[in-house]
Structure 1
Amino acid sequence: MSEKNIVIIGGGQAASQVATSLRQKNFAGDISILSSEEYLPYQRPPLSKKYLSGELDSERLYLKPEKFYEDQNINVMLNSYVEEIDRSNSKLTFSKNNGEESTINYDNLVISTGTSPRLIPLDNPNLKGVHYLRSIKDVEGIKKSLIGAKSMVIIGGGYIGLEVAAVSKKLGLNVTVVEMANRILERVTSPIISSFYHSYHESNGVEIRTSTSVIGINGDLSVSSVETSSGIIEADIVVVGIGVLPCQDLAERAGIETNNGIVVNEFCISSDSNIF
């Protein structure tokens, strides 16, 4: 077991914790983390709050400092996007930012690629000012769009949308939250909690429109307004928070069983006994 080579795909909390736990359990083999991002594994919950507001810098989001991975002999490979899992040869093909392709072999593989934002259909997919929030890079894009902006529309009344609404209102923007359901936070809280947060945000100047669907996002080069079932809302910036989808394409292409995520047993073993 000590000579095995474990490779972890993904740069989030799960990847960091798997590597940490292996060392805590005295695993002495090679551990590599391949992350498509340029940052060490980091927390995501603060992204829509303190990081967006500027209260935290990126390094304070890190789950572990760089020295931890060095001391624990954990090889963290950033800007490394895994293109293919070759199960028959226990090998990964990945690309770097410069386009260079490399391979790495594994004895056991951990897929911890998480989720990606559910996208909203756009007539112009290159329309500037439309954002999702899942990564540090996403927040940096939102911060740039906030410069000089006056009005924001947030599509989706979940936790991320409401947190962005609170921060943006404090920055002086006119903020409107558009939610298709008849109350905000419908999928995660009771009606009493929804009512509390609805009243709280409105008391701080955020307009909330429930039972409202989005028909389209207007603009030539940049967003100018959002067309909804309750009328047109002017906007310089739009943040979409309508849920997530599992990142399972890589596993699917490798022939690993999926069903709205990777199918595993009670030990997190996938349909391939060498892949978790």
Structure 2
Amino acid sequence: MKKILIIGSSPAGVKAAEEIRKKDKENEISILSVDGFYPYDRNLFADYLSKDVQLSELYCRPEKYYQDNKIDVICDRQITRINFNRCKVFTDAKDQIDYDVLIICDLPLNAFPDIKGKARVGVFGMKKLKDIEGIAKAIDTTDTVSVQTDSFSGLNLAIALAKRGKEVYLILEKNNFLSNIFDDIVIGNIVKQLDEKGIHIVLNERIVEVLGEKDVKAIKLKSQKVIVSQMVIFDVNADLRLLRESGVNFNTRIMVNSDFKTSLDNVYAVDGIATIKDQAADIVFYNKEALDEHGKVVASVVNDESITRSYSLPVESAKYDEFSIFLIGNIIRTEGVSQKRRFVEEKGALREVFLSGDCLVGAVLLNEEKEVDNYLRLIKEKANLIGSDADYFDKVPEVVSQ
């Protein structure tokens, strides 16, 4: 019998617990919350803030599921220390939890930037439900929000806040999730479209100070520009200082192999806290289907099973009224992958397709939501770019190969 301990909330952790339990009914499985909630799916945070889903819909499983499957969910204790040599997790209740296998989905603290004012009231992270609940409680008395991000999750959060009638400043550093996908002309068009909707993208900047006394009043950027804000949200990862002197290799994320195993044989890391060593992708998807696959892979290793890995077609999207961005499939610019694109500036519409040979493997769509189902089908069928699609791109003969 093994003792399996899962730290933090993620569909990946829940899926791992589910698959381990299927194989062995006797293993002790515990999930230790880092913020006092049952496991949740952070992909739904933006929908929750825009009031499109209820709090109960964020949870991966109802409480009864864990009871029926003898999975102990611990929400009333906080981690204070992990002894990786003795395989023990210590908590603020002065107790310890032993483990044979440790799966890390998250850790308790946010790795906020080291700037003045980061502890002011009104500063939040955006990857823990505790932070999202804090945002939800404060939003009605907030007029302007600044969000510093480098992900589509941050854009979706900004859209959710704009839907609630808030003025939003989206702070992006020089190398950001938009510049990884679009050229400067397209980014300029996106900036204009979102500005009209109350989302002001500030490019090539970062927050260097949060101003105010006790509460947030404004932010100062590296250019020394000051923007009035009553709330500041940082798209930050977990603080990894608990892993110091652990033997676990990490930088800003925990380094794992393709099985999500860390540098310690009995410790795994999944979801956004982990990064696969030598992973070349600038764009990584953390949708629920991808996270479920993380959990299945870890469970297969723990269960000493061989599985056929089934990777779902990754889709990332952001939508606000008629404005939309969809990223579908493999959109990484690597050797052997070519692109065709067409941008209609007056409509703010872009289609870019990614081809391996003549086979369609990915697509980027800006304000082309009507084409999403078509490209999903073509990519799933590994179709050639033929017929009307080829004719469409041939109107503007722009092919880029690397």
For this structure pair, what is the TM-score category when the shorter chain's length is used for normalisation?
A: 0.7 to 0.9
- Contact 1:183-1:194 at 8 Å conserved across structures: no
Deviation, 1:193, is 6.5
Q: Residues of 1 paired with 2:249 and 2:114: CA distance?
A: 28
Distance 1:125 1:71, change over 3 A: same
Number of the residue aligned with 1:94: 91
The one of 68, 71, 74 equivalent to 1:74 is 71
**Which AA in structure 1 matches 2:89?**
L
The reply on whether 1:181 has 2:178 as its aligned counterpart is no
Return 5+ residue gaps in structure 2 as ranges: 269-402
Deviation, 1:263, is 4.1
Q: RMSD value over aligned CA atoms?
A: 2.9
**Which AA in structure 2 matches 1:70?**
Q
Q: Residues of 1 paired with 2:123 and 2:8: CA distance?
A: 25
The reply on whether 1:113 has 2:109 as its aligned counterpart is no
Structure with higher Rg: it is 2
The one of 40, 58, 83 equivalent to 2:80 is 83
Distance 1:109 1:238, change over 3 A: closer
Pairs within 5 Å for 1:13-28: 13-26=11-24, 28=26
Normalising by structure 1, we get a TM-score of 0.81
- Contact 1:154-1:239 at 8 Å conserved across structures: yes
Distance 1:89 1:218, change over 3 A: closer
User: Is the partner of 2:242 in helix, strand or coil?
Assistant: helix
Q: Residues of 2 paired with 1:87 and 1:166: CA distance?
A: 41
Distance 1:118 1:185, change over 3 A: farther
Pairs within 5 Å for 1:31-180: 31-47=29-45, 49-95=46-92, 100-113=93-106, 117-156=110-149, 158-180=151-173
- Contact 2:21-2:69 at 8 Å conserved across structures: yes
User: Is the partner of 1:124 in helix, strand or coil?
Assistant: coil
Deviation, 1:5, is 2.2
Deviation, 1:116, is 6.1
Deviations 1:50-107 (A, max 9, x none): 1112232222111111111111111111233233333444333223xxxx21122223
Would you say how many aligned residue pairs link Structure 1 and Structure 2?
266
Number of the residue aligned with 2:226: 232
Deviation, 1:12, is 2.1
Deviations 1:87-130 (A, max 9, x none): 444333223xxxx2112222333233369654234333432222
Deviation, 1:24, is 2.7
The one of 186, 204, 211 equivalent to 1:218 is 211
The reply on whether 1:30 has 2:24 as its aligned counterpart is no
Percent same amino acid at aligned positions?
26
